[in-house]
């Protein structure tokens, strides 16, 4: 039985659909805090269950019978919660339920010393997995292409967008990462440990993205670069919580240091085809 947590999210839902193309749907369990949101998966024959990292007893029934668990990382810390505490609860529930292997959605830049705060939780969770006694795989996912689209969105609307100085990022499509996760989850022969970076085919900075958008739209998209302190003040004026401000600014710092610049062939080998390019994601966003 394959169990996927966070199945109502963009990545989790896509992973369930990818698994449904490869194994009988009767072997799939989709877990969400709000199972009503998974009515479409239930209609396919997927076993939909309620489970909440913040409610440990709910995970016992959510994980029951599961042998392979896809653990979608929690972003609770960004909103004042305890991501590591939730991961710890999920690992304990998995052991108690008899899960044999956990596949965790980590990140290419996972590290205790990263300039990008979420990477600390990924590194600490990988440490937990090493100590868990279970077989495990950490998917070292490339930076989501959808995040690049979100940063570019204002520029595509108004013609200009504000950023700090950055560096090249190997933007990676959700669709590719979902397919990769499904393939890894099914492949039980893998040794425990992290994957190589699962990245898109090229590393582009935000000026590169602006140039692509300009070419596709036939009009200028201007990337305006500001000092970090000025951008911090702008984000604070918008009323964003301190944790979100730290994450936003940490991205630029980490990108300048090259934390997201690696381009690795591992994803292409896993998929058996070239990964989706950022140009294609931007064109899709524009309806081209």
CATH at 35: 3.40.50.720
Triad 257, 258, 261: Cα angle to 5°: 165
Burial of 43 (0-12, 13-18, 19+ CB in 10 A): exposed
How confident is the model over 133-144, as pLDDT tens digits?
999 999 999 999
| Mean per-residue pLDDT, 271-287 | 97
pLDDT digits (tens, 9 = 90+) for 236-260: 999 999 999 999 999 999 999 999 9
Answer whether residue 179 is part of any domain: yes
**Is there a domain that residue 18 lies in?**
yes
Percent of the chain with pLDDT over 90: 94
* Two structure tokens written together for 62: 């959510």
Q: pLDDT band for position 25 (50/70/90)? A: very high
Place of tokens 């007893």: 57
59-62: long-range contacts at Cβ-Cβ below 8 A with a sequence spacing of 24 or more? 59/89, 59/90, 59/93, 59/94, 59/97, 60/93, 60/96, 60/97, 62/3, 62/5, 62/29, 62/31, 62/93
| Dihedral (CA of 82, 84, 85, 89) sign | positive
Give the 3-state secondary structure of residue 28: strand
This prediction has a pTM of 0.96
The position carrying tokens 């009323």 is 239
**Taking the CB of residue 286, how many other CB atoms lie within 10 A of it?**
11
Q: Please tell me the number of Cα atoms within 13 Å of 166 on its side-chain side.
A: 28
Q: Please provide the DSSP assignment of 136-191 as one string.
A: EEEEEEPPBHHHHHHHHHHHHHHSEEEE-----B--B-HHHHHHHHHHHHH-TTSP
Helix (H) or strand (E) holding 2: strand 2-4
pLDDT at residue 80, rounded to an integer: 83
H-run or E-run covering 32: strand 28-32
Domain carrying residue 93: 2-141+174-198+263-271
- Kindly state the average pLDDT of the residues 87-96: 96
| Residue 76 pLDDT class (50, 70, 90 cuts) | confident
288 within domain boundaries? no
Instruction: Tell me, yes or no, whether 32 lies in a domain.
Output: yes
How many domains in the chain?
Answer: 1
Whole-number pLDDT of residue 62? 97
In a domain, residue 159? The reply is no
Establish if 285 belongs to a structural domain: no
Q: Is 154 inside any structural domain?
A: no
201-231 as b/e, with b when 16 or more CB fall inside 10 Å?
Answer: bebbbbebbbebbbebbeeebebeeeeeeeb
What would the pLDDT profile of 148-174 be if each residue is shown by its tens digit? 999 999 999 999 999 999 999 999 999
Residue 110 · residue 128 · CB < 8 Å: no
Does residue 219 sit within a domain?
Answer: no
| Residue 79: pLDDT band with limits 50, 70, 90 | confident
Greatest pairwise CA separation for the chain in angstroms: 57
């Amino acid at each position: 039985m394959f169990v996927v947590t966070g199945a109502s999210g963009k990545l989790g839902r896509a992973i369930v659909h990818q698994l449904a193309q490869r194994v009988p749907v009767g072997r799939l369990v989709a877990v969400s805090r709000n199972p009503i949101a998974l009515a479409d998966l239930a209609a396919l024959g997927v076993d939909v269950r309620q489970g909440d990292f913040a409610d440990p007893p709910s995970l016992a029934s959510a994980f029951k019978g599961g042998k392979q668990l896809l653990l979608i990382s929690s972003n609770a810390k960004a909103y004042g919660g305890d991501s590591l505490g939730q991961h710890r609860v999920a690992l304990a529930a998995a052991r108690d339920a008899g899960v044999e292997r956990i596949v965790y959605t980590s990140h290419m830049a996972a590290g205790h010393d990263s300039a990008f705060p979420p990477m600390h939780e990924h590194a600490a969770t990988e440490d937990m997995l090493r100590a868990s006694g279970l077989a495990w795989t950490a998917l070292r996912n490339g930076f989501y292409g959808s995040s690049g689209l979100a940063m570019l969105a204002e520029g595509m609307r108004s013609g200009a967008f504000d950023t700090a100085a950055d560096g090249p990022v190997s933007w990676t499509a959700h669709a590719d990462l979902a397919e990769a996760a499904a393939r890894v989850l099914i492949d039980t022969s893998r040794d425990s440990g992290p994957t190589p970076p699962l990245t898109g085919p090229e590393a582009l900075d935000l000026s590169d993205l602006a140039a692509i958008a300009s070419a596709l739209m036939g009009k200028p998209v201007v990337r305006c670069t500001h000092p970090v302190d000025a951008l911090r003040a702008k984000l604070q004026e918008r009323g964003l919580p301190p944790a979100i401000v730290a994450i936003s600014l940490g991205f630029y710092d980490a990108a300048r240091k090259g934390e997201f610049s690696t381009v690795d062939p591992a994803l292409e080998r896993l998929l058996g085809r070239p990964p989706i390019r950022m140009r294609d994601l931007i064109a899709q966003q524009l309806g081209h």
